[in-house]
Amino acid sequence: MEPMLSPADQPPPPVHVAIIMDGNGRWAKARGLPRTAGHKRGAEAVRRTVEAAREMGVSYLTLYAFSSENWKRPAGEVTDLMGLLRLYLRNEVNNLHKNGIRLKVIGDRSRLGADIVRLIEESEAKTAGNTALTLLLALSYGGRQEIVEAARALARDVAAGRLSPDAVDEDAIDARLSTAGIPDPDMIIRTSGEQRISNFLLWQGAYAELVFMDTLWPDFGRPELEAAIRDFQGRDRRFGTAR
């Protein structure tokens, strides 16, 4: 019988886990419920997953909550999603703060309601000093648009003489992304069986391990996160180098 590994012998968890939360609509449809019911259950999955990530020693958790393409959904569904976001920011931030979790929101805030932007700013300020886990919510977020905005910032700096064209390198781009100062994701999980990135962290995810799971997001929780991390820990990450 093999001896059990002590906690000190366990492989470390990934530093940064990113999740494409997919399947709320299919979860609701399978139960004959409106899509809003799936989104509400999805919010409960967010709570479970954040708690599990903190307990498992993950340092950064990024959740793809609302993409730039999601604005094209029916107006009623968008309104419901924004309502859920307001509830989350009002009701969950105290719990995040109590558990030492820092909240950071990435994405295009110009398309969000003024009251939501105010809630985001207040939540970020309240939790800014927390260190147990950084939770990044990607809202109105698109990876291509983020790279475009970084390119525009670089172009402005070059045009103003603040930066030499020869100084434009990967670090210069990194510094102008919404995730500046945050390590790239080690692992990107997508739920619901779909196997694509959908414009999520295109620059940052260049060497992320991809884990696709059949579980619909409302059913996701600690067991699924643990399974994904075990999968990650069993992989040989070579970052483009030879064995």
Kindly state whether residue 224 falls inside one of the protein's structural domains: yes
Q: Which residues contact 232 (CB under 8 A, 6 or more apart)?
A: 14, 186, 187, 209, 211
Catalytic residue among 9, 70, 80, 99: 70
The proportion of the chain whose per-residue pLDDT surpasses 90, expressed as a percent, equals 90
* 22 a catalytic residue: yes
Closest by CA to 99, choosing from 70, 59, 132, 123, is 132
* pTM of the predicted model over 0.95: no
Tell me the per-residue pLDDT of 80-117, one tens digit each, with 9 for 90 and over. 999 999 999 999 999 999 999 999 999 999 999 999 99
Q: What is the 3-state secondary structure (H, E, C) of 123-148?
A: HHHHHCCCCCEEEEEEEEECHHHHHH
Q: Is the pLDDT of residue 242 over 90?
A: no
The answer to whether the beta carbons of residues 168 and 153 sit under 8 Å apart is no
- What's the pLDDT at 10? 75
What is the distance, to the nearest Å, from the Cα of residue 90 to the centroid of all Cα atoms in its chain? 19
Is residue 243 very low, low, confident or very high in pLDDT (cuts 50, 70, 90)? low
What is the distance, to the nearest Å, from the Cα of residue 101 to the centroid of all Cα atoms in its chain? 14
Token pair 């307001």 is found at: 86
The answer to whether the beta carbons of residues 72 and 83 sit under 8 Å apart is no
Kindly state whether residue 180 falls inside one of the protein's structural domains: no
The proportion of the chain whose per-residue pLDDT surpasses 70, expressed as a percent, equals 94
Kindly state whether residue 119 falls inside one of the protein's structural domains: yes
Kindly state whether residue 226 falls inside one of the protein's structural domains: yes
Kindly state whether residue 78 falls inside one of the protein's structural domains: yes
Tell me the per-residue pLDDT of 22-32, one tens digit each, with 9 for 90 and over. 999 999 999 99
Kindly state whether residue 162 falls inside one of the protein's structural domains: no
Catalytic residue among 9, 22, 115, 199: 22
Q: Is the pLDDT of residue 6 over 60?
A: no
By residue range, what is the domain housing residue 96? Answer: 12-142+185-233
- What's the pLDDT at 240? 61
* 157 a catalytic residue: no
By mean pLDDT, which of 2-11, 128-137, 221-230 is the weakest? 2-11
The answer to whether the beta carbons of residues 186 and 232 sit under 8 Å apart is yes
Is residue 4 very low, low, confident or very high in pLDDT (cuts 50, 70, 90)? very low
Query: For position 119, which CATH number holds?
Result: 3.40.1180.10
Q: Binding site residues, as ranges?
A: 22-27, 35, 39, 67-69, 71, 73, 190, 196-198, 209
Kindly state whether residue 211 falls inside one of the protein's structural domains: yes
Kindly state whether residue 164 falls inside one of the protein's structural domains: no
How many domains would you assign to the chain? 1
Q: Binding site residues for Mg(2+), as ranges?
A: 22, 209
